[in-house]
Structure 1
Amino acid sequence: MVVFCRFFKAMAALTAVGVLTLGCGGKDDKKDPVDPGITLSGTVTYTRIPVVKDASGVPTGLESDTAKFTSQPARSVIVRVFQGSEETLADGSKVMVWATAAVGPTDRDGKYSLTVPTGKPTFVELVSTLQYTDSSNTTQAVRLLGNADGIASSTPVTERPLYGLRKKPDGSAVDNITTPGQVPALAAAATVNFSVGVDTRWLLVYTQATRVAEAAPEPGTTGSRALAILDDGFAFADGMGSPTPGGTLYLHYCPGVDAPKGTYVEYDRDAFPASYDGVTRNFMGSIRGGSANDDAWDQALLFHLYARNRLYAARQETYPQMPFPVSALADRANHQHLSPDLALVEGFSQGMTALLLKSPYLADTHAGGATVVDVDHPDAALGADAYSAAHLADLFWELALKANNIAAPGTPDTWKNLNSAAVRRLWSLSTTDKGGASAFTEIPNVWIQLGRLKEAKDANETVDLAAIFTDAVLTQMAGAHGITWPRPTTGAEARFLKEWPKNPDLSTNALPAFSLSMAGAQADGEGRYPNHSKGEVVYGRFQLDRDRIYEISFQTDPALPAGAELELMLGAQIYRFAPGTEPLRLPLTGTETTLVTYPIRVRVLSPTAVQPDLQVTLRFAPQN
């Protein structure tokens, strides 16, 4: 359960404090009265267009009858109060400027309450930001941006506009505010509500108080879609945890704008240099807003996006030094032959989506109705094994049904009883497998997560999973998807992270050669190869007991073709080697008393062509 904060500090003080005057005789000293401030409060709601379902619970499209649209509270979205404040210029003259007086999120009923000083020109602004505090007391946010040039814009991310609505304390809307003299001074407590309809036209506003006057009406009509996207983030956070990969997530959405990759988050923070905010490069994402296919109402797609983020964040928390796929697959197709860690992300995120929706039917609505993926019936052509996202999604769904004592396949009436908390362990990545292997000897995979079902029930759990999921039960359920339980102890599936020699040395202690193959490579929705199939990726680790300076290079047979690269992920750093690349000179730390472990991922990169199989040697040549 996410812990939501009610208030947080704004850029300016929330109350004006009187000045203490020091006199010569203590008994005559006086204090100016302290302004206790007054309260601005209200409720934020939005209109939602529901999905229509047939008698079997299968989505058929969006509701067209406006009488069946619903009004929902906008939960944990940001409300800001701006007030005019007197500022003294360098020449001694005084001017009135806008300052942020208070900021805070709505509660789960869409209500907010903010205290501000009296007697100042004031307006209230609803802004397209979801803010919450996670279980570790870390404040995270999803900011929905409205710049029409989208995720690849060259404009710095902190300079891109958000969606905003403004009102005076009397509740009247106000758009073009340039100076504090345009709105009255706040004299009494007031209730300022925001009701955002399907056809509401937003302003494009900026984070900085100094840019209040730059707000302008959006060119289109985003309406309540903006709050639907953010409220789905709340719903996911409330049921499953952080909807961001960590920190602040910037999502881009404009009605009528169909981004090339559709609805996705880019996990490679170096992909967009403009994501840098002066401190860090942020996670960036895009929501499809095409005229024929708009994803703003599609909870299945948004929950899937947020679920991928949750698994990525869990990886960051649990496997902080373990190489991991930097990008989840951009399109929405099912995939097979994936690397075991990416199969887990792609498959379990679909299962988490179905669990949160309480339905196996994941719908992408569009002008012609809906395209539906039935998680419980994966396409037979997608293969059945630990590398098939579709089968891992189905396995997740079946495990959730059994943990909730619902006989498979269930019905819409019994699915209503699903409780996501019953199987929280499934998406809580573990640092150990059933045999006790640590995070530094294995990568995330389905066997580790299935092993979590065998752990003893803790005090916060209502379901004894170990009693339900005996080895016999897991053998049957996993076996139906081509997954052997218990995990094999020999062969390729016994361990995915290769154990390489300590203190590698090209001359005396060389790393063993390995193969990379694109035989199972699949093109994505753009016709490019993402290079995440199980044959295209190799994981390994070695340890150092002394400081070394290495020259690192690759040798391949046959020679690496033009247009292809080898990607080396060493810890958290990524290096690329094209044909003819000079060796990388790199100092690495080691200690004799406590060995330093270096996990590695090597991946072939060839987005436009399938390359022949490569025999690869990763060469570490000591220079000291």
Structure 2
Amino acid sequence: MVVRPIGLRACAAMLFSAFVLLSGLACGKSAARKAAEATTFDVSGTVKYTRIPVHYDANGVPTGYETDSSTFVSAAARGVVVRVFQKKPQIGTDYQSVDVWTLVGTTTTDSDGKYAVNGSALKGYPTFVELASVATQAVSPASVITLIADPAGVYSTSRILDRPIYAQRKALDGTVSSGDPTHASLGTASATVDFTVGLDDPWMVVGQKWWIPASSSFAMPETVAAGSRVVGILDSFYVFGQVYGNCVPTSTSGALDLHYRPGLTARRGTFVEYNPELLPLSWDGSAYHYLGAVAGGGTLDGTVQQDDAFNTNVLYRMLGRNMVYGQRKTAVLPDGNPATSLAPDLVLVEGFGDAMAAEMVKSPYLCGPTPATRFTAVRDIRDLSALTPAQISGFSAPAITALTWDLALINTKITAPGTATAWKDITPINLLRFYTLLAPTADSGTATVTTDCVSLFTQLARLQEDKGSADNSDLKTFFTDAVLTPLCAKYNVTWSGKDNAILPKYTQTWGIDPDTLVTPFPTFTMSMAQAVKTRRYDITYPAGTAVETAVDAYPNTSYDEVRYARFALTSDRAYTLRVTTVPALPAGAQIEVRLDGDAQQTYLFPKLSSQALTLAGNPSDFSTPTWHTLRIRILSPDVQVPGTQVTIHLEKKN
């Protein structure tokens, strides 16, 4: 039998038509039954909260919180953690099946307060959604900010991972139970679960990982009417981070835990402790958490305190210091004190922190320094009339804050002093480059090495860099030498151009392969003449209780108490390190020498008479030696050390 070609074509057409028909039926089935046949479902929603703004009068002065409810703001809660839990069977140690609550999905809200957990929740299991007092920073590094709900606040005697957080929970159907902490509904299809947090809504106080160990039932935890203040604090981190970046005082992913409890205020008010080792309970077994607190109002020592949860005027000052210090370009720890004679790198943390806050709230008026004086001791950052000429310089935090405000006005084309209406046009992100620390560098063989610490000069030089793709404003066109020279002179700072600004000014260079037995290092003078005692609060834990002690001490951060030096080695060398002073230091005073910025290589003299060192060089390439840095600092918390001649000895061993 001969099959004609036309018959083959007809047969193929029939087969193709059948295939299309079957495919169409299959597609129809998929479209109609896909959701029903899926084993997982999605959970999404929006988180919003009510915010009470700070009231600013016609002159831009903060006078208190708004009292007219029509001025309250409904805002998206951004960057806040949302988690989905399901009750599922699990085989226990006795090989019996038990139901436990299991975390099946975690996400954070976006810039509109929206969240979505897709494809990780299984149908057929009781499910609820949890809004937690945790935020993951939306910018690099992806650090975690946790709002701690411990009733003892920062004085808690619990380890950091054992301190509770706030949580709100809803079943998939959006219902809430006041008596069941794991109120849930069966997951049968994708669901939308929204959270709208009112001013005084209750939060449960729960463990940070309450579902571990796993269980199917929990007693009703404590509830606290912290309301929208919880997400308000975390949302402030998001807003600040979108402008200036990192809000946590570390350049790598870390953890910042802030204690907040309505009615509870620590004596330090709203703060971050930049030396976490002072709070040993902040150790989580692998790393220290940065700890701090947000003032929650109430009374302290009989004085009424303000609640800072909604006060961005205060929060942004803290976050500004976090951002600058977190770049790890400063060698001295900040303490939140805007002193007038600080080390050239530290002054940027204290001066810029206040300036960034002023730009963010678009007012030169910052709230008072304590929760009790927020609206009664408002500070005009432009007013330096209480300072002597010697206290207005590039080492003065108040002067740098005032200078930076002038830069913001110039960048906005506002003729000083401007008005509250005009200040609204300030765009904070425009000066981001100025706040991004950049130390001077130089070529050393095939390497590029840092030659000095950061300072006001290095940052002013950044204003004259060419505009980059990440810049929001062409700063170079605003800040010519003709503009900067008289502006800097106003603050007793001499501007001699960008090329001069990036030359080493505060770091001595002690050459290559030094040996002070042959060529001594130059002697320099250190002094505490400009040092001022500040009050700090130390927390200790005797017998399982927290005891706070107020200590008035010198922070040892003034300009003449800190010196920097550097030297290079072509090959590995063994040295003896010594320090001599003329006159001898008074009892209780020390000279601290820190090598290469390493806390593990920090030595105190005369506590030590000498210290043996083995330092690395680069014997494989003598033209590119290894550079080492020294930070020399007076440590004398109780006694003010007068002018002292200090000599560093680095003696090569045979």
Under a length normalisation based on structure 2, what TM-score does the superposition of the two structures give?
Answer: 0.82
| Matched residue, 1:520 | 530
SS in 1 for 2:257: strand
Which of 389-398 and 425-434 deviates more?
Answer: 425-434
Question: Equivalent residues in 2 for 1:361-440 (5 A)?
Answer: 361-364=365-368, 366=372, 369-381=375-387, 383-432=391-440, 440=450
Which residue of 208, 223, 226 maps to 2:230?
226
Larger mean CA deviation between 279-288 and 342-351 belongs to: 279-288
Residue 422 (structure 1) shift: 2.4
Indicate which of 322, 325, 331 corresponds to 1:309: 322
Q: Which runs of 5+ in 2 are unaligned?
A: 1-35, 299-304, 537-551
Which of 127, 145, 153 is the matching residue for 1:122?
127
Please name the residue that 1:12 is paired with.
Answer: none
Q: Percent identity?
A: 36
Equivalent in the alignment of 1:571: 596
**Cα distance, 1:390 vs structure 2:** 0.8
Residue 151 of structure 1 and its aligned partner are, at CA, apart by 3.7
CA spacing shift, 1:459–1:125, aligned 2, 3 Å: closer
Other structure's SS at 1:306 match: helix
Tell me the equivalent position of 1:540: 565
Tell me whether 1:172 sits opposite 2:213 in the alignment: no
The 1:488/1:235 distance shift into structure 2, 3 A limit, reads: closer
User: What's the counterpart of residue 23 of structure 1?
Assistant: none
2:575 paired with 1:550? yes
Q: Give the structure 1 partner of residue 79 of structure 2.
A: 76
Distance 1:86 1:464 in 2: 60
User: Structure 1 pair 605/250, CA: closer, same or farther in 2 (3 Å)?
Assistant: same
Which secondary structure does the structure 2 equivalent of 1:343 belong to? helix
How many Å apart are 1:605 and its aligned residue? 1.6
Answer whether contact 1:330 1:524 (CA < 8 A) is retained.
Answer: no
Indicate if the aligned counterparts of 1:130 and 1:143 stay in contact, CA closer than 8 A: yes
Query: 1:257 corresponds to which residue?
Result: 264
Q: How far has the Cα of 1:43 moved from its partner?
A: 1.9
Q: Which string of whole-angstrom CA distances, capped at 9 and with x for unpartnered residues, describes residues 443-493 of structure 1?
A: 1111111111111223444533222211111101111111101169999x9
Deviation at 1:41, TM superposition (A): 2.0
Deviations 1:133-162 (A, max 9, x none): 425xx4222111122344464533222211
In structure 1, the gaps of 5 or more residues are: 1-32
- The alignment partner of 2:377 has SS state of strand
Write the mapping of 1:270-309 to structure 2, written as runs, cut at 5 A: 270-291=277-298, 292-309=305-322
- Aligned equivalents of 1:490 and 1:404: distance in 2? 27
Measured against aligned partners, the alpha-carbon deviations of 1:281-304 in whole angstroms (never above 9, x if no partner) come to 232222223421332222122111
Residue deviations 1:413-455 (CA, integer Å, cap 9, x gap): 2111112232221111223389999762111111111111111
Tell me what 1:245 maps to. Answer: 249
Amino acid at match of 2:617: G
Residue 345 (structure 1) shift: 1.5
Amino acid at match of 1:229: I
Alignment match, 1:447: 457
Tell me if structure 1 keeps the 8 A contact 2:79–2:110.
yes
- CA shift at 1:102, angstroms? 0.6
The amino acid across from 1:601 in the alignment is R
1:587 to 605, 608, 614: 614
Structure 1 partner of 2:139: 134
Kept in 2: contact 1:543–1:595 (CA 8 A): yes
CA deviations 1:279-337 (Å, max 9, x no partner) are 322322222234213322221221111111111223x3xx4xxx611x21235xx3201
1:24 matched to which residue of 2? none
Matched, 1:59 2:86: no
For residues 269 and 206 of structure 1, the distance between their equivalents in structure 2, rounded to whole angstroms, comes to 22
* Aligned 8 A contact 2:138 2:241 in 1: no
| CA–CA distance in structure 1, aligned partners of residues 281 and 564 of structure 2 | 31
Aligned match of 2:651 in 618, 621, 624? Answer: 621
CA distance in 2, matches of 1:285, 1:211: 28
Can you list the C-alpha shifts for 1:577-622, whole angstroms capped at 9, x where unaligned?
Answer: 2644353333221113231111111111222332233222223334
The answer for the alignment partner of 2:348 in structure 1 is 344
1:457 and 2:460 aligned:
no
Following TM superposition, by how much is the alpha carbon of 1:242 offset from its aligned partner in structure 2, in angstroms?
1.2
**Is the 1:198–1:223 Cα contact (8 Å) retained in structure 2?**
yes
Aligned CA distance change for structure 1 residues 146 and 485 (closer, same or farther; 3 Å) = same
- AA at the equivalent of 2:187: L
Aligned residue pairs: how many? 578
Q: Quick one: structure 1 residues 38 and 439, their matched pair in 2 at CA, closer, same or farther if it must change by over 3 Å?
A: same
Letter in 1 for 2:381: V
Equivalent residues of 2:232, 2:309 under 8 A apart: yes
Cα pair 2:591 2:635 within 8 Å, conserved: yes
Q: Distance in 2 between matches of 1:388 and 1:188?
A: 61
Structure 1 window deviating more from structure 2 (614-623 vs 233-242): it is 614-623
| Structure 2 CA distance for partners of 1:487 and 1:260, relative to 1, 3 Å | farther
Match of 1:27 in 2: none
Deviates more, 1:187-196 or 1:576-585: 576-585
Q: CA deviation at 1:494?
A: 6.2
The separation in 2 between residues aligned to 1:243 and 1:214, in whole angstroms, is 35
Deviation (angstroms), 1:342: 1.2
Determine if contact 1:77/1:131 at 8 Å carries over to the other structure. Answer: yes
CA contact (8 A) 1:433 1:451 kept: no
TM-score by length of 1: 0.86
Name the structure 2 match of 1:9: none
| Corresponding position of 2:490 | 480
Alpha-carbon distance between aligned partners in 2 of 1:463 and 1:400, rounded to the nearest angstrom: 11
Q: CA deviation at 1:388?
A: 0.9
Within the candidate set 326, 348, 359, 2:363 is matched to: 359
Which secondary structure state, in structure 2, belongs to the residue aligned with residue 270 of structure 1?
A: helix
Q: Match for 1:206: what amino acid?
A: G
CA separation in 1, counterparts of 2:70 and 2:575?
A: 69
State the alpha-carbon separation in 1 of the partners of residues 477 and 234 from structure 2. Answer: 38
Residue 387 of structure 1 and its aligned partner are, at CA, apart by 0.8
Corresponding letter in the other structure for 2:645? Q
CA 236–505 in structure 1, closer or farther in 2 if over 3 Å, else same? same
The Cα shift of 1:232 comes to 0.8
8 Å CA contact retained: 1:261, 1:330: no
Counterpart contact for 1:39–1:113, Cα < 8 Å: yes
CA contact (8 A) 1:554 1:618 kept: yes
Letter in 2 for 1:550: Y
The question of 1:612 aligning with 2:652 is answered no
* C-alpha spacing 1:220/1:405, structure 2 compared with 1 (3 Å): same
Whole-Å Cα distance in 2 between the matches of residues 53 and 623 of structure 1? 66
